[in-house]
């Protein structure tokens, strides 16, 4: 058995077994990324699709995803490659793209407005070694790295990636333990600590998907936006009010088809509330 140290689960993985996320295994008593370089999705996307509104707007970025996730959001938008049975069947079919090859592809796409590589689609931190190795090469090529993550990882993982990450969009999916620790199977405290550290070295934007009946109250949005507004940089200066927050509309999906899409007017209302604390609030899926 070997203990995985990526997130709060600290899975005990038997030799040749697979952890909860579906992306980590044990070999020779050491936990490794089972999904290393196994690519399920690759596309040249507008940077705004990550979403990043205030990081090189108007540019494109080569977006890459694998399989696996350490949360269990019932409304997952990318369930085909995250944690569904279908996602796990992709393991042996995914195309292997080594870091050098992905970096070369990013460089070739400069002529089409590409500024680098975004690690996205599934949860990239469950295979952080591939992110680290590729991002280092991308930096050496003079390009940028973007991480789109749920932020459910130990700070040691974040610190290992810190020298190579230029921007992040981090899901702050809600602001109550019942929602995070219950429905999503995560840990709110871990995500908050991750964000607090990330803003000290990287451009960070946050995304909150508003799910009717779950995290959609005025009170929760006020608490969330106030917390963001108090975030500090590495020198202790207050930078929270300038951190962009994307408030997105939910649509019935995957295992959560028991409610209607979020009312557009309510999304705009919650955005107004967040705007009382934050300078940059954006609405999505409206």
Q: How many residues does the chain have?
A: 286
HEC letters along the chain: CEECCCCCCCCEECECCECCCCCEEEECCEEEECCCCEECEEEEEEHHHCCCCCCCCCCEEEEEECCCCCCCCCCCCCCCCCCCHHHHHCCCCCEECCHHHHHHHHHHHHHHCEEEEEECCCCHHHHHHHHHHHHHHHHHCCCEEEEEECCCCCHHHHHHHHHHCCEEEEECCCCCHHHHHHHCCCCHHHHHHHHHHHCCCCEEEEEEEECCCCCCCHHHHHHHHHHHHCCECCCCCECHHHCCEEEEECCCECCECCCCCCCHHHHHHHHHHHCCCCCCEEEECC
The pLDDT value recorded for residue 115 is: 98
Domain assignment of residue 27, yes or no = no
Nearest alpha carbon to residue 61 among 98, 126, 115 = 115
Report whether pLDDT(69) > 90: yes
Report whether pLDDT(90) > 80: no
How many domains, in total, are found in the chain? 1
Query: What residues make up the domain containing 138?
Result: 35-284
- In this structure, of 73-77, 78-82, 231-235, the range with the lowest mean pLDDT score is 78-82
Report whether pLDDT(89) > 90: no
Contact between residue 270 and residue 218 where contact means Cβ atoms under 8 Å apart? yes
Domain assignment of residue 132, yes or no = yes
CA 25 to chain centre: 21
Domain assignment of residue 7, yes or no = no
**pLDDT band of 38, cuts 50, 70, 90:** very high
Strand partners, 41: 65
Q: What is the mean pLDDT of the chain?
A: 96
Domain assignment of residue 10, yes or no = no
Domain assignment of residue 66, yes or no = yes
HEC letters along 109-137: HHHHCEEEEEECCCCHHHHHHHHHHHHHH
- In this structure, of 90-104, 166-180, 251-265, the range with the lowest mean pLDDT score is 90-104
The pLDDT value recorded for residue 82 is: 85
What's the CATH code of the domain at 59?
3.20.20.70
Domain assignment of residue 41, yes or no = yes
Alpha-carbon distance of 171 to 120, in angstroms, equals 12
**pLDDT band of 87, cuts 50, 70, 90:** confident
Global pTM?
0.97
Q: What is the pLDDT of residues 109-137, one digit of tens each?
A: 999 999 999 999 999 999 999 999 999 99
Domain assignment of residue 30, yes or no = no
Domain assignment of residue 88, yes or no = yes
Report whether pLDDT(33) > 90: yes
């Amino acid at each position: 058995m070997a203990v995985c140290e990526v997130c709060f689960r600290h899975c005990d993985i038997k030799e040749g077994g697979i952890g909860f996320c579906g992306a980590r295994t044990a070999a020779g008593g050491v936990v490794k990324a089972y999904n290393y370089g196994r690519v399920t999705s690759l596309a040249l996307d507008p940077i705004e699709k990550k979403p990043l509104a205030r990081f090189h707007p108007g540019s494109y970025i080569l977006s890459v995803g694998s399989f696996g996730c350490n949360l269990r959001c019932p409304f997952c938008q990318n369930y085909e490659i995250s944690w569904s049975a279908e996602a796990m069947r992709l393991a042996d079919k995914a195309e292997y793209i080594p870091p050098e090859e992905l970096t070369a592809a990013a460089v070739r796409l400069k002529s089409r407005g590409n500024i680098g590589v975004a690690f996205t689609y599934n949860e990239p931190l469950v295979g952080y070694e591939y992110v680290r190795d590729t991002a280092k090469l991308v930096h050496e090529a003079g390009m940028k790295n973007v991480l789109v993550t749920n932020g459910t990882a130990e700070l040691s993982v974040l610190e290992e990636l810190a020298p190579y990450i230029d921007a992040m969009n981090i899901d702050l999916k809600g602001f109550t333990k019942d929602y995070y620790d219950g429905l999503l199977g995560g840990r709110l405290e871990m995500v908050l600590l991750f964000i607090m550290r990330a803003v000290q070295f990287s451009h960070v934007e946050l995304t909150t998907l508003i799910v009717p009946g779950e995290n959609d109250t005025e009170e929760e949005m006020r608490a969330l936006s106030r917390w963001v507004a108090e975030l500090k940089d590495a020198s202790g200066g207050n930078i929270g009010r300038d951190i962009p927050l994307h408030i997105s509309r939910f649509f019935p999906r995957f295992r959560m088809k028991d409610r209607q899409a979020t009312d557009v007017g309510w999304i705009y209302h919650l955005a107004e509330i967040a705007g009382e604390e934050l300078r940059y609030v954006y609405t999505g899926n409206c």
